[in-house]
Amino acid sequence: MSKKGSLKTTKRTRLYKQLGVALITLIGLYSLFHHSSKNVSLSTYTTIGSPDYLEPLKYAPSSTALPTDLPVDHNKYTRLLPFKYNGKKEKATFVTLARNSDLYGLINSIKAVEDRFNSKFQYDWVFLNDEEFSDEFKKTVTALISGETKFGLIPNEHWSYPSWIDKKRAADTRKTMKEKNIIYGDSESYRHMCRYESGFFWRHPLLDEYEYYWRVEPDIKMYCDIDYDVFKFMKDNKKKYGFTITIHEFRDTIETLWETTREFLSLYPQHIHKNNMLDFVSDDNGKTYNLCHFWSNFEIASLKFLRSQAYRDYFDYLDHAGGFFYERWGDAPVHSIAASLFLDRDEIHHFEGMGYYHGPYHQCPINDQIRLHNKCACNPNDDFTWKDYSCTLKYYDINNITKPDGWKDHTG
Ligand SMILES: Nc1nc2c(ncn2[C@@H]2O[C@H](COP(=O)(O)OP(=O)(O)OP(=O)(O)O)[C@@H](O)[C@H]2O)c(=O)[nH]1
Ligand SMILES: *[C@@H]1O[C@H](CO)[C@@H](O)[C@H](O)[C@H]1NC(C)=O
Ligand SMILES: [Mg+2]
């Protein structure tokens, strides 16, 4: 064999090698495309569910709303600011009533709400307090919030005894309630808080420019991603009151609330909505209160509802009856009874896809599709929704809403 012969063989081997590589590449590319178009199917997990689950498609921020140039933080280093949302927004705000001492429990709530929802839409946040907020409070929450922060002082008339209240009688009530070990029964500030949340927060001038609010309290958790604009959802679907958890009230705190409500209704029958949801709050067509209410530490609702003549008349009537001080009426039953009587039942919405916690109860979607799609970090066995002490089963039944599969396994 000559040198030439062996050279030819080497060239041919190289050619075969190159052909081999090309072939493998082609097979690789083919299988890649084949995979992405056929095997990786999204449909298994995108079946239509509740609005919470569906809305990401309809209400997601579109990519055109995002700027292409990322602004660099004005701080010294290179942390990037989040995307600025330039899409259309509703007139909506978060609202938190808090003391300065609530700050470090509150920041957990704020961070969760921002991470799971608000960093995508950047809604404002209004803080209200019966004392001036400290600089520490203001700078700390502002650093966490993607929207604008606003701080309001509550006028003294909204956080004190009205002229017609007998303070001695109020003090006696606190004493007996303490003896009976009723939760917050001896607290004066808790009563001002409940009265304020019932009748006044929505009258604060800082809320005037808004149409919807989302109430947030200290030490709550948001377990799931919320990838759609919940306020737009409220508006598009004509919802006025949205809730997560429902529960029964302690009877001792609201002994005469229902009889006072009945007196009010007989004086103002025009405020009762034709398609109301009386059957949520009463099991005997209005004779008695069944103690069911939306747990108002979470609320996404319309300010128009609270500003309505019906709600104003109702609050004034209750306030004059004195039960905020002579008993311990909570803002939760007050809001809930009002929503159930003055709204169209179709205006009330359960946010079943929002994982939520306020001690000691959890909402953790038991529906795997919803929970996994929304990246919920919670244990469905902790879910309170279908338990006896909750009223959500009643809400689903009276409104003929389909319950999630397996709800019966979560009642105990
Ligand atoms: N400014 C102010 N805010 C208050 C006062 N009392 C309660 N709050 C706020 O009102 C809301 C409800 O009070 P909470 O103490 O959480 O009442 P709760 O949810 O029934 O009870 P917890 O189980 O303690 O959470 C929270 O946002 C508190 O920060 C008060 O005296 N002044
Ligand atoms: C639910 O269904 C029952 C039975 O069909 C009906 O009588 C009732 O009016 C329905 N309620 C609502 C709120 O649609
Ligand atoms: Mg609370």
Find the ligand nearest to 279 CA. 2
Find the ligand nearest to 192 CA. 1
Predicted local confidence at residue 84, as pLDDT: 85
Predicted local confidence at residue 22, as pLDDT: 65
- The CA distance from 164 to 317, in Å, is 12
**What is the arithmetic mean of pLDDT over 372-378?**
97
Token pair in block for residue 32: 């890649």
Q: Are 386 and 364 in contact, with CB atoms under 8 Å apart? A: no
Compute, in angstroms, the gap from residue 315 CA to the centroid of ligand 3: 22
| 132-159 pLDDT tens trace | 999 999 999 999 999 999 999 999 999 9
Q: Is 400 in the pocket of ligand 2 (CB under 6 A)?
A: yes
**Ligand 2 atom at minimum distance from 399 CA:** 13
- The CA distance from 103 to 258, in Å, is 36
- The CA distance from 38 to 286, in Å, is 57
Amino acid identity of residue 5, one-letter, is: G
Token pair in block for residue 377: 């970090």
Q: Which residue is listed with tokens 């966490």?
A: 144
- The CA distance from 359 to 230, in Å, is 24
For the domain 59-350, what is the CATH code? 3.90.550.10
Identify which of 26-40, 53-67, 370-384 has the greatest average pLDDT. Answer: 370-384
Q: Is 217 in the pocket of ligand 1 (CB under 6 A)?
A: yes
**Ligand 1 atom at minimum distance from 197 CA:** 10
Around Cβ 398, how many Cβ atoms within 10 Å?
14
Higher-confidence residue of 79 and 41: namely 79
Compute, in angstroms, the gap from residue 351 CA to the centroid of ligand 3: 19
| 216-229 pLDDT tens trace | 999 999 999 999 99
Around Cβ 200, how many Cβ atoms within 10 Å?
20
Q: Among 383, 113, 116, which Cα is nearest to 224's?
A: 116
**Ligand 1 atom at minimum distance from 131 CA:** 1
Token pair in block for residue 187: 């607290």
Burial 74-91 (b: 16+ CB within 10 A, else e): eeeeeeeeebebeeeebe
Compute, in angstroms, the gap from residue 401 CA to the centroid of ligand 2: 10
Q: Are 80 and 70 in contact, with CB atoms under 8 Å apart? A: yes
**What is the arithmetic mean of pLDDT over 260-270?**
98
Nearest CA to ligand 2 atom 12: 399
Q: Among 278, 312, 254, 267, which Cα is nearest to 399's?
A: 278
Nearest CA to ligand 2 atom 11: 399
344: three-class secondary structure by DSSP: coil
- The CA distance from 252 to 176, in Å, is 11
Q: Give the residue, out of 190, 215, 358, with the most ligand 1 atoms within 8 A of its beta carbon, to mutate for a pocket test.
A: 190
Compute, in angstroms, the gap from residue 297 CA to the centroid of ligand 3: 6
User: Residue 40 — pLDDT band, cuts 50, 70, 90?
Assistant: very low
| 154-163 pLDDT tens trace | 999 999 999 9
Predicted local confidence at residue 412, as pLDDT: 86
Q: Is 130 in the pocket of ligand 1 (CB under 6 A)?
A: yes
- The CA distance from 267 to 318, in Å, is 13
* Pairing assessment for the beta strands 299-302 and 241-243 based on DSSP bridges: antiparallel
Domain ranges (residues) in the chain = 1-40, 59-350
**Ligand 2 atom at minimum distance from 345 CA:** 13
Catalytic residue positions? 299
Q: Is 399 in the pocket of ligand 2 (CB under 6 A)?
A: yes
List the alpha helices (DSSP H) in 94-144.
103-113, 119-121, 135-144
Q: Check residue 296 and report its DSSP letter.
A: T
Phi and psi at 69, nearest 5°, equal -95, 120
